[in-house]
Amino acid sequence: MTVYLVGAGPGDPELLSVRGARLLRAADVVLHDRLARPLLTLAPAGAEVIDVGKSPGAAPVPQEEINRLLVEHGRCRRVVRLKGGDPFVFARGAEEAMALKAAGIEFEIIPGISSVVAAPAAAGVPLTCRGVARSFTVLTGHEDPDRWPPGYAEALASLAGTIVVVMATTHIGRIAERLIEAGLDPHTPTAAVRAATTPAQEVRRVTLATIGNALLTPPSIFLIGDVAGLDLRPTRPDLRANGWLQTSRQG
């Protein structure tokens, strides 16, 4: 059989790919992340659903156990590993793929829309914009910034583009301080985006010096750079038809 590592997207169920939805509807087993729960309505009624989700500071199912479950079920059943965002962007998809490859289990990667690009778009912040930012850099804020290698903060501060920081609600204040100490202007526009693309989405526009006061809870993404001063959110209401996920699980 085959294990499909499916990117569930950033939060809005309608941002799941067509291929991901088709595979989910045909799954025998679904191992899902916490943020992918709204998509479980697409799973067949007879599918075995296993919650392996992590939350900040808590991992009830260790990654080693997730890898074991994928290998065990993947030997004889059609498995969908439903992962938030994209499987290969801060999602440990590489570790799961390596475990499957080592065990000789067939697998496939189904890309998903990462919150790295979805959160800025939902907040009306272009990651790149001609004359404003020609590049963007993504880093994890999970690591204590006081443990950054020598010169790392200075390298980030010297960039002319946008800095995207994920998983940083705990350390964002200190990250901002390190960047300012390294030479980045304290008045640099900064946006904090929480629960991007969902009904709970929040956007706060501050400066680098005040980002530590944003007080957002996970899941949040922080955008640092001149593009964060732009607000290109649409002014018209959302006209999408939202009915396609509003069905119960059925065989």
Tell me the two tokens of residue 152. Answer: 């790392």
| Of 54, 98, 226, 231, catalytic | 54
Q: Where are the beta strands (DSSP E) in 2-76?
A: 2-7, 29-32, 48-51
- 54 carries an active-site annotation: yes
Q: Is the peptide bond before 87 cis (omega within 30 degrees of 0)?
A: no
Size (the chain), residues: 251
**Helices marked H in the chain — which ranges?**
18-25, 63-74, 93-102, 115-122, 152-157, 172-181
Distance CA(71)–CA(64), nearest Å, equals 11
- 33 carries an active-site annotation: yes
| Of 12, 83, 86, 167, catalytic | 167
Q: How far is CA 101 from the centre of its chain?
A: 24
| Of 12, 33, 83, 86, catalytic | 33
- 1 carries an active-site annotation: no
> Active-site residue numbers?
33, 54, 167
